[in-house]
Amino acid sequence: MAKPIPTLPQPAEGVQAFGQALGEIWKSMSGLKLPADTMSQLQSSYLQQATALWNDTLTRLGQPQAEAAAPALRDRRFSSSEWANNPAAAYMAQTYLLNARTLMEMAEAVQGDAKTKARLRFAVQQWIDAASPSNCLPLNPDALRKAVDSQGESIAAGLRQLWNDVQQGHVSQTDESAFEVGRNVATSEGAVVFENELFQLLEYKPLTAKVYERPMLFVPPCINKFYILDLQPENSLIRYSVEQGHRTFVLSWRNPDASLADKTWDDYIEHGAIAAIRAVQDITGADAFDMLGFCVGGTILSTALAVLAARGEQAASSLTLLTTLLDFSDTGVLDLFVDEAAVALREYTLGPAAPTGPQLLKGQELATTFSFLRPNDLVWNYVVGNYLKGEAPPPFDLLYWNSDSTNLPGPMYCWYLRHTYLQDELKVPGKLTVCGEQVDLGAIEAPVYIYGSREDHIVPWTSAFQSLKLLQGPSRFVLGASGHIAGVINPPAKKKRSHWIGSTDPVPASAQDWFDAATEHPGSWWTDWAAWLAPHAGRQVAAPKSYGSRTHKVIEAAPGRYVKQKA
C-alpha cells in the first residue's frame, strides 16, 4: 500500500499484509456508483466552500499581521498557533479538511451493500489520514518551527529515532526502555505452578488471612500478553481479585515460535484452557470454581467449558466474560477484513494445507492491523512526534504492553477466523466439533457475568450483550464507559468513568432495550463484579501458606519466562 512520506518503519510482512488486505477492500468496490444528482450537489457545495475559503484567506492576507491569524481549528493536528498564524499553512489545513469532508460525503453517497460501503469508508479514511499535511515535514509549520528553534537538532533526533524504529521493527509509541516485565510491570507476587508447551499457570500470593474456598482462574487473550491485567499495583485486576480474597490463578500463554506453528484451535482448548482447569482442580481440590475470560480468552474459555459440558462436567461455579464475542454476527470494524477470499488466502498461506506447511501469523502483523484501526492516534501521531519533531515518546505502561506483540499458530488462527468471524458457527448448538465434542454453549450451567465497553471498536458492546441469549445460567450484564482496554482496566480508587446496570431477567429483546432501562452509576464496575462474585466463591477458609501442591511444585517466580518471550 503506497503511503506519502514519511514511510512507516514497519516490518515488511506487516505493512505488506495490511496493504494486501486494503487492496482486497478496494477490489471489492469495482462497479460502485455515485448518483449523478448527488455528485452534482457535492461538486456545487465543494466549489462554494472552496471559494469562500480562498476569499477569506485573501482578506486575511490584506490585514495587519496581528489580525491576519485564522481561527484555531478544532482538529488537534492543526490546533496550534503555528498553523493559525501562518496563512499558507492555515489555508492548506482548511483545504485538506474540506477535501476530507467531501471525500467522506462521496463515500457515504455511493450505492452498494452495507459491507461494501463500510469498506469504502474505511479505505477512504485511511487515505485521508495518511495524506494529512501534518504528516509531512515541509508542510508542517510546528515541526519547521521546532527545527529552526533547535538549530536542526529536532531533525537529527527524529532521524535517530526513525533509525531505531526501523531496527526494532515498529513505530515507538512509548519509551520501551523504561519498562521491564517483572520489574515494573506484571509485578504481583506469585509463582509458576504448572507449564506445558502452550502456557504457564501462575498462582498469586494471598493478600488476606482467609480466601474463598473456590479459586479463581483468569484466561486472558492469546493475541497479547496477560499483564494488561497486571500493569501496575494500582490498576491491576489480578491484584484486585487477590485483595478480595480469591485464590487467583492466571493462564499465561506462550508466545509461539516456529516449533508451535502447527498448533490448532483444538490444541488451545484441550491443552490450553482445559489443561489449566485440570491443574487448578488438582492443586486446590475444587471440582468447580470461578473463571474469567477476557476478549479471545473468553471465547476460548467458553468453548472449553462447552466441551467439558459435552463430557458431562460442569467445571465453572461462575463465569465472567469481559469484552468477549460468542455471537459473531456483528464484529464491528474487524468485519471489513473478513470475507471468503480473505480467509481462503490465510488458509492457503498459514493453515495446515499451506504449500510450505503451517506458518505463524506474526505478531507485528496483528499489531499493525490494530493500529490502523485508529491511525491518527496510534500511527500518524507518533510519526509526527517521533520523526518530524524529534520528540521521544514518554513512558506509558499501557502502550508498552500494546507494543509487546505475540505470534499465533496459523492453523489455530485460520480455524478461529473461518468458524467464528466468517461463518459465525460457535453460537449454533452442535454445529462445531471441538476436541471430539459437539459444542453447545447453552450446556454451560454456570451463572454468568458479562461486561461490555460502550466505545469498544473491537468487540461492540451490543455483540457482547448477545452472549446472554446463548448462555443459559443466571446472568448479569454490565456496560462500562470507554473502550476495549480502558473500560476494563478501570480501578475503583481512580473514581473515573461510569457503568450501567440493568435487568436481564428476562433477557431484553435487544441491547438497546436493555440500555434504555439501565441505570448509570459513577465509577468502576469492579465493585459490582466483586459483590456479584462473592456468593459464588463459597465459604472462607485459611489462605494457603505456599504455592501449588505436592504434585504441582513451584517452577519459577511470577510472571514466568513465557510472558517475557518476544515475537
The pTM assigned to this predicted structure is: 0.90
Q: Which of 124, 150, 176 finishes a domain? A: 150
Neighbour-count burial for 201-219, b at 16+ CB within 10 Å, e otherwise: bbbbebbeeebbebbbbbb
Q: Which of 102, 134, 150 finishes a domain? A: 150
What are 312's strand-pairing partners?
none
User: CB–CB of 283/413 below 8 Å?
Assistant: no
State whether 315 and 431 are in the same domain: yes
In a domain, 379, yes or no: no
Cα–Cα distances (Å) from 161 to 165, 175, 372, 385, in that order, read 6, 11, 21, 10
In a domain, 385, yes or no: no
Q: How many domains does the chain have?
A: 2
Q: Which CATH number belongs to the domain containing residue 558 in this structure? A: 3.40.50.1820
In a domain, 329, yes or no: yes
State whether 28 and 146 are in the same domain: yes
The pLDDT tens digits of the residues spanning 328-348 come to 999 988 898 899 999 999 999
User: CB–CB of 422/338 below 8 Å?
Assistant: yes
* Bridge pairing between strands 408-409 and 498-502: unpaired
In a domain, 169, yes or no: no
DSSP-derived secondary structure for 286-303: -SSEEEEEETHHHHHHHH
**Residue 163: how many CB atoms within 10 A of its CB?**
12
295 is catalytic: yes
In total, the chain counts a number of residues equal to 567
In a domain, 168, yes or no: no
Domain of 220, in residue numbers: 190-352+407-564
Residues 238 and 391: their CA atoms lie apart, in Å, by 34
What are 541's strand-pairing partners?
211
Q: What is the pLDDT along the chain (567 residues), one digit of tens a residue?
A: 333 333 333 333 444 444 454 444 445 445 567 788 888 898 999 999 999 999 988 887 777 665 656 677 889 999 998 998 888 899 999 999 999 999 999 888 888 888 888 888 999 999 999 999 999 999 999 999 999 999 999 999 999 999 999 988 889 999 999 999 999 999 999 999 999 999 999 999 999 999 999 999 999 999 999 999 999 999 999 999 999 999 999 999 999 999 999 999 999 999 999 999 999 999 999 999 999 999 999 999 999 999 999 999 999 999 999 999 999 999 988 898 899 999 999 999 999 999 999 999 999 888 888 888 889 998 999 999 999 999 999 999 999 999 999 999 999 999 999 999 999 999 999 999 999 999 999 999 999 999 999 999 999 999 999 999 999 999 999 999 999 999 999 999 999 999 999 999 999 999 999 999 999 999 999 999 999 999 999 999 999 999 999 999 999 999 999 999 987
Instruction: Give every CB contact of residue 267 below 8 A, 6+ residues apart in sequence.
Output: 198, 409, 412
User: One of 222, 295, 414, 435 is an active-site residue; which one?
Assistant: 295
State whether 104 and 218 are in the same domain: no
State whether 139 and 213 are in the same domain: no
State whether 146 and 194 are in the same domain: no
